[in-house]
Amino acid sequence: MAGQQLALTVLMGLVLVGVAALLTRIEDWRQYTPLAGGSAVAVGEDTGYGHREKPSGVIRWLTTVDHKDIGILYGVFALLALAIGGLMVMVMRFELITPASDVVSAQFYNALLTSHGITMLFLFGTPIIAAFGNYFVPLLIGADDMAFPRINAIAFWLLPPGALLIWGGFLVPGIAPAQTSWTMYTPLSVEQAHVGADLMLLGLHLTGVSATMGAINFIVTIFTERGEDVNWANLDIFSWTMLTQSGLILFAFPLLGSAIVMLLLDRNLGTLFYAVGEGGGPILWQHLFWFFGHPEVYILVLPPMGLISYIIPRFSGRKLFGFKFVVYSTLAIGVLSFGVWAHHMFATGIDPRLRASFMAVSLAIAIPSAVKTFNWITTMWNGRIRLAAPMLFSIGFISNFIIGGVTGVFLAAIPIDLILTDTYYVVGHFHYIVMGAIAFAVFAGIYYWFPIFTGKMYQRTLAKWHFWLSMIGTNVTFFAMLLLGYMEMPRRYASYDMVTVGPLEAQTLLHQAATVGAVILLVGQVIFVWNVVSSWLDAPKVTDTDPWDLKQSGLFTREFGWHADRLTAADGGEQQTVTDGGEKHEATDSPQPGDTEA
């Protein structure tokens, strides 16, 4: 047995050496300069815009350090994770059509529930934001690339192994996946003996390291790599939100990493960090987890808010109303987000004086969020609105954000929280934010910048179908969940035939409505995937240097200046091929200083 293992280990080592040798023979990696610019249009496409230094095919994507390529990699990864997380929840929704547990086992349901949460937050939410950030922050601030291109690549390449570890329990036969829920509360997560939970914790740790490296990169890039004409006063709103988000990551994720290591030690080496009695107890885990966990909410929502603040003015034909106040509210949310974590623990029996102070800060954080909503609506109020897909998703964001936000304010009040905690009301509330708002902003961003990162235009009718199905699906699903919460339906249950609170008939009906909504959502996302893939592959190239008619309202910005330069260069114009980043050229459409504001 031992001999066999030794032989296997040696064999694996030889295979790895062979792969390394093969790669060095195929391509000489060292010849590529990290700042080699280039177009990130369809794979292998030659636009003549400065990527002759790049290898072709798969090797390009494995070795790239170009911020736009890495942005595309992040985006593809995140959308795959969205599909996987979405399919997981579809199984759960079908399970909940009837009160009894008759589609999957309760254990498998718990595993899906755990994995759905972790996948959506860590493998879709954070990476898709990094996708936009990587692609567009350097373009928007006039930088050649990210400050640390290689670290940028490392940060991305930590994600796939992280994902494999997180899903390891499903992928490796013979070991059960983690069933801890995404909150991983102790003592359950310490005592659950599945190897899948260890793998998940390790994977989560990797994604945390990845996010931290990315955040450091964004902070340094925005501080030190801005173009000469970009200052703090005219820095665009999306970069402001990326900067604030990166600051939050820098303080939150390392703490999660430490807490996870302690949990792993408790699980595997018999330490007692979270042990009842000898150690800090389960409450220690909850404090550490939520000190990360609540800023994580804002880590996920601030850049989408930045996208909305960026897109709404461009389809309203006017500058963002109260730009400064939107920036201030972003910073205020960033600071306050570290002072609200214990509102997730109102029902744990912590000191009532502590609870009261956390309630006050939790209510206060609604103010900067409301300031943003106020400014978006005021921008639209006198605007010449064009209801293109990015704008539809932005308006959908506002509508869903209001519902998710108002339901959240009630949860911040201790007496209401004590009644509604651990019910579907909570699930409905935060899904209005994560699906109804964050994912909607992501879709708005994808459609808005589709001409830039694909060089093509999406199919408008399909995009509108995508919007309406998503809007209706979101509201049917999560509205039903809010009602389920009012009927005291507990969350995280695979079956509810034994639930004795509330009228079972009405609860079953609402669960069925939520499942119907989820199916509508699924159909919408299938249309989205079809639209993106078919448009990317088959649509004619965009030849318009200003596909959204931004010049008309004076809101033409740097990234579209870069797009215009690319088109001019591809047409055989006399323009000099330069590193990417939207540096100014003669006779181009590059915007002037100050254009980024709004």
Residues that bind other proteins (CB under 8 A): 316-319, 321, 370, 374, 377-378, 380-385, 387, 395, 398-399, 402-403, 406, 475, 479, 482-483, 486-487, 502-503, 506, 552-554, 594-595
> From residue 481, how far is each of 182, 218, 439, 565 by CA, in Å?
19, 37, 18, 49
Instruction: Say how many CA atoms lie within 13 Å of 431 toward its Cβ.
Output: 25
Q: Which of these, 71, 34, 37, 67, lies nearest to 52 by C-alpha position?
A: 37
- What sign does the CA torsion over 139, 145, 147, 150 have? positive
User: What's the closest the beta carbon of residue 382 comes to other proteins, in angstroms?
Assistant: 5
User: What's the closest the beta carbon of residue 209 comes to other proteins, in angstroms?
Assistant: 41
Residues 6+ apart with CB under 8 A from 507: 99, 484, 487, 489, 496, 499
Q: Say how far apart CA 425 and CA 488 lie, in whole Å.
A: 8
Q: Say how far apart CA 109 and CA 493 lie, in whole Å.
A: 8
The type of residue at 6 is L
Q: Which of these, 396, 425, 431, lies nearest to 411 by C-alpha position?
A: 425
Q: Which residue has the tokens 């994580």?
A: 296
- DSSP-assigned states of every residue in 208-264: HHHHHHHHHHHHHHHHHS--TT--TTT--HHHHHHHHHHHHHHHHHHHHHHHHHHHH
H-type alpha helices, 315-351? 323-336
Residues 6+ apart with CB under 8 A from 452: 135, 559, 560, 562, 563
Q: Which of these, 161, 125, 126, 130, lies nearest to 67 by C-alpha position?
A: 130
Q: Which of these, 462, 436, 428, 427, lies nearest to 447 by C-alpha position?
A: 462
Q: Which of these, 126, 124, 119, 130, lies nearest to 153 by C-alpha position?
A: 130
Burial of 157 from C-beta contacts in 10 A (0-12 / 13-18 / 19+)? middle
H-type alpha helices, 124-194? 126-141, 149-157, 159-166, 168-171, 188-191
State which residue, 36 or 482, has the beta carbon closest to other proteins.
482
Question: How many C-beta neighbours within 10 Å does residue 505 have?
Answer: 9
Q: Which of these, 40, 256, 235, 37, lies nearest to 131 by C-alpha position?
A: 40
Q: Is 350 helix (H, G, I), strand (E, B) or coil?
A: coil
Q: Tokens standing for 571?
A: 């047409």
Answer whether 176's CB lies under 8 Å from 221's CB.
no
Q: Which of these, 389, 207, 418, lies nearest to 315 by C-alpha position?
A: 389
Answer whether 225's CB lies under 8 Å from 144's CB.
yes
Q: Is 512 helix (H, G, I), strand (E, B) or coil?
A: helix
